[in-house]
Structure 1
Amino acid sequence: MSRFTDRIAVVTGAAQGIGAATARRLADEGAEVAVVDLTAERGAATVEAITEAGGKARAYGCDVADEADVHGVFDAITEDFGGLHILVNNAGITRDNLFFKMPRSDWDAVLTVNLTSAFNCAQAAQSRMVEQRYGKIVSLSSRSALGNRGQANYAAAKAGIQGLTATLAIELGPYGINVNAVAPGYIATSMTAATAARVGASAEDHQRLVAERTPLRRVGQPEEIASVVAFLASDDASYVSGQTLYVNGGAR
C-alpha cells in the first residue's frame, strides 16, 4: 500500500512500543517519518528498521514537554523533510500509585509528558498544516481515561487528550485538518510490563489475567494500534474528526 506517498509524518515516543510500530507502519505505506524521542539515539533502532525495509526516516531528540525544544525540532523537521502532514502524539510515561500516596511530582510529570506534550506538538504542527490547509493529528489516549485504580494521574491526562482532540477538531477543521484519538486497552508493551511488575506479577501472568476478562480473550499488540492510527492519519478517514476510537478487544 502507498496511502502516505509524499507525506511527512512526525511520531513522538517512537523509540519503542506503539510509537515504534506506528512509525514503521506509516513508513511501510510510503511516508517519510521523523522518529522523535527523548534522544536521537533512542530512536536509532526504529530508524534502522524502517530504512532496512526500504523506507525513509530520521531520528530526532526532543523533550516534548519543553515548548521551546518542540518548536525547535519541528523547525528542523520541516527544513530537513520539506514539509509536515501528519502528527502522531504518542509520547507518554506512567508513575502509578494509589491516589492517597501519589506525590505531586508524579502527578505533574505524567500530566506534562502525556498531555502538555500533545498541546506543544499540536501547536507547533498546526501552523504548517493551516498554511497548506491539510493535516492529520492523531493522539494516543487510553482506556484508562475511563478510570483505573492506581492511575489518577494517567487517567486524567488521557481523558484530557480526548477533550483536547474534540476541541482541536472544532478549531482546526475549517482548515482541512482532521484531529482524532485512539484509546488502546491492554497492549503488550514495556509500559504494561512495568504495570505488571508494580502489582507483583510477571508480564506473562498479567497478560493472561487481562486476556481472561477481555471478550477476544487476548491482549493487543502494538501493530494493531498502529493500523488504527494509520487509518485515522490517511485520507480513508477524510470525514472522521473529533473522535476517540477505543481499541481494546471488546472490553467494557
Structure 2
Amino acid sequence: MITAEGVTVRYGRTVALDAADLTASTGITFGLIGPNGSGKSTMLRAMLGALRRAGGRVEVDGVSVDDLTARQRAERIAVVAQEEPSGLPLTAWDSVLLGRSPRLSGWSRYRPVDEQAAAEAMSRAGVDALAHRGIDELSGGERQRVLIARALAQEATHLLLDEPTNHLDVRYQHDILSLVHSLPLTTVVVLHDLNLAGRYCDELMLLDGGRIAARGTPHDVLVPDVLEPVYGISMRRVDLDGVPQLVFRPAERAVT
C-alpha cells in the first residue's frame, strides 16, 4: 500500500498541489487524471520522494519515504517515466538488467540470480525477442514494454508510471495498460485519456488546479457533471460491457 496525506507542493508562490490525500491499496491500479497543469505528475513525484514537499506525508507500506534511503526506495518503488529515447548504446537486455542495480552491493557484478530475474521480467512483458536490439531502435510501444520489464526485474512492490501511453498508437496504448493492469503490484499511473483510465484503472483521482475534484471508482468519477467543469468540454457517458466510456462534444465555432 502507498498513501499520501495532506501533500502540498509549491513552486515559488505557485501551489502545485494543495493538501492532497491518496491511498492506493495493495494490488490495485490507481489512476491520476486531470487537465494539463492539474498536479498529476507532481503528485507522482511527491509519492516517490523526488521533490520537496511543503507539507504532508507519504508512506509505503507504513514507512515514510523520507526515512528510506535511495536504495530502499528503489527496492520498494519502480518508476516508468514518459517514453523517450535513452541516448545510450544499450540493448533491451542491458536496460532490463539495470533494474537489478538496487539489489547489488557496491560495484559487484550481476549474478546469475539477477540475469534470471531479468529474463523472467522480459518474458512476462513479452519482449524476449527484443533482447539484443538497441533500445533506441525500438518502437515507442516496444520501448515502453522494455521499461516495464526493467521495473519488473527490480522486484519492487509498487509501480509508478507517468503517462506511459504518451505518443503511442491505439493498439500499443491498450497493450501497455492491459499489461500494467495484470501485474500483481500496487500501481499508480498518470493518464490523460479518460477512456483508457475508465477501462484499466480500479480507482481514480481527478485533480484540478492542484486540488482533488473527485475520487472513487471509474463509475463514480467519470461522470459528465463531475468532469465538464474541470475540462471545460461537454460530454456524455456510455457504458460498454460495464466499462464507462465518454463521448465528447466540442463547442461549435462561430461562423463569421
Q: Specify which structure has the higher proportion of helix.
A: 1
> Which one has a larger percent strand, Structure 1 or Structure 2?
2
Larger CA Rg, structure 1 vs 2: 2
**Larger RCO (CA within 8 A; separation ≥ 6):** 2
